[in-house]
Amino acid sequence: MSDTSVAVVGLGVVGARVARQLTSSSIPVLVHDRRADLQNVTARALKAGEIDSAIDLHPGETSVVVLATPSRQGTLTRRLVERGLNVVCTSDDVEDVRDLLELDGVARANNVSIVVGAAASPGLSGLLVAELASRVDVIDEIHVGVHGTGGPACARQHHRALAGDAPGWHDGEWISRPGGSGRELLWFPEPIGGRDCYRAELADPLTLQRAFPSASRISARMSATRRDRLTARLPMMSPPHAEGGIGGVRVEIRGSRGGERRTEVAGTAERTGIISGAMASAAAVSALSSALPVGVVVLGAPGVPNGAILDDVIKRGITIFEYVGSGV
C-alpha cells in the first residue's frame, strides 16, 4: 500500500460499505476492526490490506483515514493528524463533533484536512443546504429532519439523543432545548412520508452554523414515536437490529430572493448506512485527490467542492428529491 490508499477503521454497517465502495472504485484499501475475525473476512473478500493498529498508521502507508468507529473519534483523529494524515470522521455524537471542530489549528499545523460530519446527518445535510443555497440570495433559516438509524451503535446514539439537550442556533446565540420537545410534522421522500419529529441531541446545528454563519436560525429534529419518547431515558427495551430500515434526511431552507420570501426543500430516502457509506466514500475520494482545504472541513462550507462531492454521492446510488409543490 502507499499514500494513494485509504484506511478504513471500523467495519460495521457504515465502514464495511465504505471499504466496498472504495475498492469498487479501484482505490487500494486498508482495513481495521477491533474484531479480528471480521477484519480478516472483510480483507479477504475485498482483497484489501490489514492494519494491526490504527494508531500506528503513517503517511508511508496511506494518506487518508476514514473513521467509522462507534466510539468517540476525537482522540484518535488528533493522533492521526499529528502524524500527517487526512481524516474523514463519521461521528454524529454532539460532544465528539464539538471536540473535532476544535482541531482546526492542529490540522493546519500539519497541513492536512479533517472532514467533520461525513455521514447522513451531519454530512449530506450540509451538501443539500449548499445545493439549495443557490436558489436564494440570503439564507435566514436552516431546518434539518432525520429519520431512521444505521447499525446498532447508531440506534443507541439516536435513542440517547431524544433524552439529551438539543442544540440550536437562534438569532446569533446557541440555545438548548429538551430532547423530545417541539413536535413538528415533517414530510420525507416516499416511502417514508409524513413523520412526527422532535428536538434531539443532534450535531447538525454545530456543523451547519460553521458552514453558514449568516443563517439566523438552525435546528434539527428526528422522527420518533410516542414509545420512543417515553422510553428515551431508559435502557433500550430490546437489542437494536443489525441494520435499520429505510432512513431519510430532509433539509429545508428559508430565505429571500429578489426581495421575495422563498422556501426550498430537498431530501433523500434510503437505508441510513448506505447514505453514510456513500458520503464517507465521496469525502475520502475528495481528500485523496487533495481537493479539500487544509484544516477542519464541514460539508456545505464555502471553499469545499460541495457540488462535486454531491455528484459523487449521487453516482454511488443515492437519489436526491426536491419538493416542487403541487402547482409546478
Q: How many residues does the chain have?
A: 328
Residue 239 has pLDDT above 70, yes or no: no
Read off the pLDDT of residues 122-131 as tens digits, 9 standing for 90 and up.
999 999 999 9
Place of cell 499529528: 82
**Number of alpha helices (DSSP H) and beta strands (DSSP E) in the chain:** 11, 16
Confidence of residue 242 (pLDDT cuts 50, 70, 90): low
Residue 199 has pLDDT above 60, yes or no: yes
pLDDT of residue 241: 65
For 258: left if phi > 0, alpha if psi spans -120 to 50, otherwise beta; the answer is left
Residue 43 has pLDDT above 80, yes or no: yes
Confidence of residue 46 (pLDDT cuts 50, 70, 90): very high
Per-residue pLDDT averaged across 65-79, rounded? Answer: 94
pLDDT of residue 238: 67
Please, what is the average pLDDT of the chain?
92
Please give the torsion angle defined by the CA atoms of residues 75, 30, 294 and 109, in that order, rounded to the nearest 10 degrees.
50
pLDDT of residue 213: 96
Confidence of residue 235 (pLDDT cuts 50, 70, 90): confident
- CATH number for the segment(s) 124-271: 3.30.360.10
Above pLDDT 90, what percent of the chain?
A: 81
pLDDT of residue 153: 75
pLDDT of residue 55: 85
Identify which of 266, 260, 309, 269 has the alpha carbon closest to the alpha carbon of residue 289: 309
Domain ranges (residues) in the chain: 6-120+275-315, 124-271
pLDDT of residue 162: 86
pLDDT of residue 181: 93
Which position has the higher pLDDT, 130 or 231? 130
Alpha helices in the chain (DSSP H): 13-24, 36-46, 74-82, 94-101, 104-109, 124-133, 152-161, 204-211, 226-231, 272-288, 306-315
Q: Which architecture, in CATH terms, is 6-120+275-315? A: 3-Layer(aba) Sandwich (3.40)
Residue 2 has pLDDT above 60, yes or no: no
Which position has the higher pLDDT, 178 or 227? 178
pLDDT of residue 44: 96
Confidence of residue 146 (pLDDT cuts 50, 70, 90): very high
Which position has the higher pLDDT, 46 or 239? 46
Residue 231 has pLDDT above 60, yes or no: yes
pLDDT of residue 163: 84
Per-residue pLDDT averaged across 24-49, rounded? Answer: 95
Which position has the higher pLDDT, 259 or 294? 294
Cβ of 118: how many Cβ atoms within 10 Å? 33
Residues 6+ apart with CB under 8 A from 270: 246, 247, 248, 317, 318, 319
Q: What is the DSSP letter of 318?
A: P
Beta-carbon-side half-sphere exposure of residue 76 (alpha carbons within 13 Å): 22
Per-residue pLDDT averaged across 14-25, rounded? Answer: 95
Confidence of residue 327 (pLDDT cuts 50, 70, 90): low
Per-residue pLDDT averaged across 55-80, rounded? Answer: 92
Per-residue pLDDT averaged across 19-34, rounded? Answer: 95
Per-residue pLDDT averaged across 266-274, rounded? Answer: 95
Confidence of residue 7 (pLDDT cuts 50, 70, 90): very high
Backbone phi and psi for residue 81, each to the nearest 5 degrees, phi listed first? -65, -40
For 197: left if phi > 0, alpha if psi spans -120 to 50, otherwise beta; the answer is beta
Read off the pLDDT of residues 209-226 as tens digits, 9 standing for 90 and up.
999 999 999 999 999 988
